[in-house]
Amino acid sequence: MKKLILYSLLLANIAFCQSVDNKEKYFKSQYDTIVKKTFVLDLEDLFDKTQIKEFDNLIAEFEKETSIEIAIITFNDNYVSDEDFHQNTLFVANRIGIGKKELNNGILIGISIKSRKIRIENGDGILAILTDEETKSIIDKSFIQNFKQAKFYEGTKEGLKMIIQHLKTKLKQ
């Protein structure tokens, strides 16, 4: 149900997103093509259906265990500057409400291969157990190492698993 609500909010806010910036760099009409409601929104077509299902299962299982929500979104190449990309990932994370509102425990993984950008937005409730420095380390060790070899699925899967493992370890302490 949460996934359906998240994506309904995302779709309902496309018009708002486009009006935020006069250049209309925010969220294009590609959102209309979303058929399946998952924790993965692949606008860049990096992953096949099986891979998306695998990510979705990993995330759903982790959410059941911890209540922490993780979402993955791939953007097209409309975000040429770091600031545009940062603003869009932050907007998506905040606007669709990843994580439990009272806990602010959501994580958004934003990827744009064509623009050569990746960003992970951690909710304030996550920062105590996954710092920005630790997040950067995960990006460098898993995502980027694989992405340099055009292994986008492998890098995303490894990065997602590293995030999940790190959080599980910290939560046990």
CA distance 75 to 173: 35
Higher local confidence (pLDDT), 173 or 82? 173
Helices (H), 67-151: 82-95, 132-138, 145-147
In this predicted model, what pLDDT tens digit does every residue of 59-101 receive, in sequence order? Answer: 999 999 999 999 998 887 666 567 777 777 877 777 777 778 7
pLDDT score of 26 more than 60: no
Least confident of 3-17, 59-73, 83-97, 108-122: 3-17
Instruction: Choose between 80 and 33: higher pLDDT.
Output: 80
Residue 161, pLDDT score: 97
Cβ–Cβ contacts within 10 Å for residue 47, how many? 19
Torsion angle defined by CA atoms of residues 5, 6, 9 and 11, in that order, rounded to the nearest 10 degrees:
-110
